[in-house]
Structure 1
Amino acid sequence: MDKSLEKQLGRWLKAQQYACGPFLKLSVLLGVLNGLALVGQAWVLATVLQGLIIDELERQAFIPHMLAFATLVLLRAVIAWLRERVSFEAGRRLREQMRAAVLNKLERLGPAFVNGKPVGSWASIVLEQIEDLQDFYGRYLPQMSLAAFIPLIILVCVFPINWAGGLILLGTAPLIPLFMVLVGMGAADANRKHFSALQQLSGHFMDRLKALPTLKLFYRAEAEQRAIGKASEDFRERTMAVLRMAFLSSAVLEFFAAVSIAILAVYFGFSYLGHLDFGHYGMGISLFTGMFVLILAPEFYQPLRDMGTHYHAKAQAVGAAESLMALLELPEPLKRGEQPLPGESIELQARDLKVLSIDGVPLLGPLSFSLAAGEKLALVGPSGAGKTSLLNALLGFLPYEGSLKLNGIELAELDPAAWRSRIAWLGQNPQLFHGTIADNLRLGQPELTEAQLWDYLQQAKVADYVRALPDGLAHQLDEYSGGLSVGQAQRLALARALGRQAQLFVLDEPSASLDSQSEQLVLSALWQAMAGKSCLMVTHRLDQLDRMDRVLVLDQGKLVQQGTFAELKAQPGLLAQMLDELPLAVSLDDTPKASPPPIAAAAEAEAGSDSKPASESKSESESGEER
């Protein structure tokens, strides 16, 4: 890692300590009190030994000293316990605030940015990397202050009684931090590589786990198993490199601390033998002096050794901070206003609209179109024409240039939360979370009653299926809608969208993954729910366009046609060309056929078409695309 970057990350980490509140300073204060109690213990113990061995006083004379010693031991234990609690609280507050900052940042950047990395990589940043900041704030930062205060307190106590012992302590003290820096010089870079390997492994494993059915279909399971094994081995090697550096630094610190204490012991030993006669201010070296200094000597180096022990926590935090700082300091391309959206209905006007990527690259445009209140507008075009990008800009997930007004107010000036509360969204792959059916239906409207939930389920033509479940609304859904067919999952997602009571329906190919019978049920419920509401729907199903008021045709990011379906199909252009290719471009299920009565269609869908699990259908869809 570049040294300038490492220093920048260190400064950034220290700048975040405000989140710890007063607990960092309180931890240092408790450490100083613990050091003062330690000096008192050494003084009491040295006094007792001097009196018993040299002065030959009665043991009863030292009862107050022993009571004081026991009190100091108990006091140090209480202080140590309090300091552990305070240090943990400092780290906990930091982690809590850092996680909130990261999640808020991701929410502001939007799903278009989040989708740029695998889910496992984001999980690694939010969980493991933030967790690894605990010891930096809970232990390393307080220990940095104590490494200066405690030795200084001991030197102040030692120099007045023996300047030679004080000089030995003062002269050997810099050796420990010096060699700590030399040994741990590459620790930050090793930790950065460790976190990079962890992110790659997490993302790789999560993606392969989700795509396991597809890998099985294409006989790639064993190959991906070997790839995961290779990534795991790389992570193991980087982990061992970090541990090797941590153990090496600890061994070096212990060695120099032991050598320094040995030098001090040799000085007092030769002084008692009469071979050395200096350092005592002309009063001689008593047993009290030697014992007092030697008892304090290990404690003089202990804060420095502890800082060395926690030095790997700093390296670990610096390695984790690279991803966190890059994310939190990333400029936000999405503008956010605070104005509410007025009016009961929604109309939309776009003038010279250019939709940009998160990095500022133009995706489509310029476009000029409008959506009147209560109007149904379809977006069609070949894959890659920019239809989904336009929806993402409308939802506030992508930046734009030009003008995009809703009820006369620029989208960038609207409060995103208030604006999105007026929208109902339904995509081609419904996202149902692990939890009960009721939890999923209340995702956007937590205050919905059970009666309202049943009403929306009835409108979505899925109430009979939910009633047939043993637990009804309390039925637990597996991850990724496991246990449901695509049609059932899509109708549950539709019921959730209906609960929004929205004025604008934004639909991204809501029937793309459905068979004809499930498609009929979903679209029938949608048309009923959208009566009098505005709608913007992306679709590849050209046979559905006659129910839309107007059609926008996109091609390579440009608006090439717009008008009613009847007008456009009679004109030469892209839409007419797509209609001519319809029998060859769609599957058998997509060709127009006579619609059965609604009751018969519902019965057939529940009995036959809903038998295929959503996860299986999704895998087969991915398989077909790859073929």
Structure 2
Amino acid sequence: MSVLVWPVQAALIAWAISDLIAGEVPAWYAALLFILLSGVRAGLDWRAEAAAQVEASRSIADLRLQLLEAAVWRSPSGPGEDAAAQAALMGEKAAMLRPWLEKFLPAMARARIVPLVILGLVASQSWTAALALAVTGPLIPVFMMLIGYAAQAASRDHLVEAGALNRLLMDRIAALADLRFLGAVGQAGADLETRATDLRERVMKVLRLAFLSSTVLELMASLGVALVAVQMGVSLLGLVSWGGWGGQISAFGAIFVLLIVPEFYQPMRDLAASWHDRAAAMAVMDEARAALAQEGPRILGEGAAPPARCDRPLPLRWQGLVISPGQDAAIAVPDGCLLPRTATAVTGPSGIGKTTLLGTLAGLRPALSGTIRYGDIRLSDATATGLRGAIGWLPQQPRFPAMSLRRWLRLAAPDATDDTLTEALHRARAGHVLAALPQGLGTRLGETGGGVSGGEARRLMIARALLAPPTLLLADEPTADLDATSAQEITGALLALRELGSALLIATHDARLIGAMDHVIALRAGREAA
């Protein structure tokens, strides 16, 4: 620790000044040694700060990775997750740990060691000065602890309010068109202003507590330094003949004590300056621990075994399969088998578990019981990741990443040319969609496919599947909310995948789509598992 170099420098200064007081010429090498120690101290400070920055970056990256892995392996069919809250926690909230890691923790380490070393050095010269430090020093952590509890609660409230404001803002932006249609833009703006005002008040509360903690520390430190300074002064003036171990303290001892006493309080000053950083970090860590401990169905594929590959069409079979579409529900699925170039519909009333069945077969959530096999490969944690590489997924509400249509389509076929992409779009009955996009294949659709309808977004999903036909395509209500013509075009595009060798499993209520299927699996409430 560089701070422990200062007592040596202070001893050199005290030695030189005491020689001057005695009428002697100080040794020249004392100045040279002082300069050398200053360089050593600066180097140690730089090294410590660099190490703290590296360690802070590593710790924050590790936490973000844990949070990201927890979010990735959490089943999408489980309880709804707040994307804004997750993004805020992995982003700006995780970054709030940096001051705690870089400043508070090193300051805490110094506060545990340096005051004791300084107290011992002071005690070697003056027992009265050591007594003053021993009395004022312990009072500082006591007051800091009392204020710290309030600061941590205030920081937690601030983070909760910040997360709520993030969620509200993202929700209002997503619903901006509806708000304009309903004439509620003004009310939405007023709500945001109210929440922003609440957040500002919570921030000010945190700052007030931070300033209060600094004030308490400075008061106690100033009193302690003043007591020692007065005592050393009257001792040097000869007004008192006690204070040192042998009577009156020497000039060297008094100067040495005066120089190192401020270092007794400096680690606690540093601690107080970053105390609110600790409070904010503890609130973030509490939220992170809650996110990591969140329960719910998990995606299969977390096993340590190498993923099994599934590069060719394989028959899919399930036996004794029991799924859970709800928290307390259990539905027994009829045993079934899907072969290449076949199309099967999953039917049943809403909420019976059609989407749950699709997710279970893809390993996106675990089954309550039963076995699922792709050929000779059983779906499990050890094999799910590899098997999913051959499974296509067509959700009812497609989502698109922040990239161009061209780049998104090439995720399925990296070497595909623009002509190949255009051909796939036409085969998916999406040629008119491409023609209507302002920048063609270079258009960025946005997360929800801005600029295209739900049916058009599904056609884009089918076009990507046509570029690299999957072994199995799972489709959830692909014709829902579509007119007869659009539903017929979607059906034709799906059947084109069947002709390319894919097995289709489609959850649907559409009688016309069901009529175009080769097989039908009916889920009924009467098949509830015991």
For normalisation by structure 2, the TM-score amounts to 0.89
Partner amino acid, structure 2, of 1:419: L
Q: CA deviation at 1:293?
A: 0.9
Q: CA deviation at 1:244?
A: 1.6
CA contact (8 A) 1:377 1:550 kept: yes
Secondary structure of 1:354's counterpart equals strand
Is 1:512 the counterpart of 2:492 in the alignment?
A: no
Within 5 Å, give how 1:382-461 maps onto structure 2.
382-406=349-373, 407=375, 409-444=377-412, 453-461=421-429
Quote the sequence identity (%): 33
Aligned residue in 2 for 1:589: none
CA contact (8 A) 2:125 2:257 kept: no
Return closer, same or farther for 1:300/1:220 CA change in 2, 3 Å cut-off: same
Equivalent pairs counted in the alignment come to: 522
Return closer, same or farther for 1:100/1:445 CA change in 2, 3 Å cut-off: farther
User: Which of 240, 247, 254 is the matching residue for 1:276?
Assistant: 240
CA contact (8 A) 2:75 2:296 kept: no
Return closer, same or farther for 1:540/1:212 CA change in 2, 3 Å cut-off: farther
Greater shift, 125-134 or 405-414, is seen at 405-414
CA contact (8 A) 1:384 1:556 kept: no
Provide the rounded CA distance (Å) in 1 between the counterparts of 2:377 and 2:506: 22
Within 5 Å, give how 1:227-626 maps onto structure 2.
227-282=191-246, 284-330=248-294, 333-334=297-298, 335-336=300-301, 338=305, 340=308, 344-356=312-324, 361-374=327-340, 375-406=342-373, 407=375, 409-444=377-412, 453-462=421-430, 466=434, 473-531=441-499, 532-555=501-524, 558=527
Aligned residue in 2 for 1:607: none
Q: CA deviation at 1:172?
A: 2.0
Aligned residue in 2 for 1:75: 40
- Superposed CA offset, 1:460-513 (max 9, x none): 344686589786544444443224454543332222223343110111122335
CA contact (8 A) 1:428 1:513 kept: no
CA contact (8 A) 1:110 1:397 kept: yes
Provide the rounded CA distance (Å) in 2 between the counterparts of 1:430 and 1:348: 25
Return closer, same or farther for 1:416/1:437 CA change in 2, 3 Å cut-off: same
- Superposed CA offset, 1:428-449 (max 9, x none): 3221222122321133565666
CA contact (8 A) 1:379 1:552 kept: yes
Secondary structure of 2:267's counterpart equals helix
Secondary structure of 1:109's counterpart equals coil
Provide the rounded CA distance (Å) in 2 between the counterparts of 1:510 and 1:255: 70
Provide the rounded CA distance (Å) in 1 between the counterparts of 2:185 and 2:69: 37
Partner amino acid, structure 2, of 1:228: L
Provide the rounded CA distance (Å) in 2 between the counterparts of 1:200 and 1:468: 38
Greater shift, 341-350 or 314-323, is seen at 341-350
Q: CA deviation at 1:92?
A: 0.5
CA contact (8 A) 2:217 2:272 kept: yes
Provide the rounded CA distance (Å) in 1 between the counterparts of 2:447 and 2:381: 37
Provide the rounded CA distance (Å) in 2 between the counterparts of 1:441 and 1:147: 57
Secondary structure of 2:368's counterpart equals strand
Is 1:170 the counterpart of 2:134 in the alignment?
A: yes
CA contact (8 A) 2:514 2:520 kept: yes
Greater shift, 485-494 or 40-49, is seen at 485-494
Greater shift, 467-476 or 303-312, is seen at 467-476
CA contact (8 A) 1:91 1:138 kept: yes
Return closer, same or farther for 1:368/1:469 CA change in 2, 3 Å cut-off: closer
Unmatched tracts of structure 2, length 5 or more: none
Superposed CA RMSD in Å reads 2.9
Partner amino acid, structure 1, of 2:279: A
- Superposed CA offset, 1:74-122 (max 9, x none): 4333332332221111111001011111111111122234x62322111
Provide the rounded CA distance (Å) in 1 between the counterparts of 2:452 and 2:406: 15
Q: CA deviation at 1:264?
A: 0.5
CA contact (8 A) 1:354 1:362 kept: no
Provide the rounded CA distance (Å) in 1 between the counterparts of 2:434 and 2:185: 36
Aligned residue in 2 for 1:192: 156
Is 1:210 the counterpart of 2:174 in the alignment?
A: yes
Aligned residue in 2 for 1:51: 19
Q: CA deviation at 1:322?
A: 1.8
Secondary structure of 1:112's counterpart equals coil
CA contact (8 A) 2:240 2:248 kept: no
Within 5 Å, give how 1:29-40 maps onto structure 2.
32=1, 34-40=2-8
Return closer, same or farther for 1:469/1:210 CA change in 2, 3 Å cut-off: closer
CA contact (8 A) 1:426 1:497 kept: no
Unmatched tracts of structure 1, length 5 or more: 1-31, 560-627
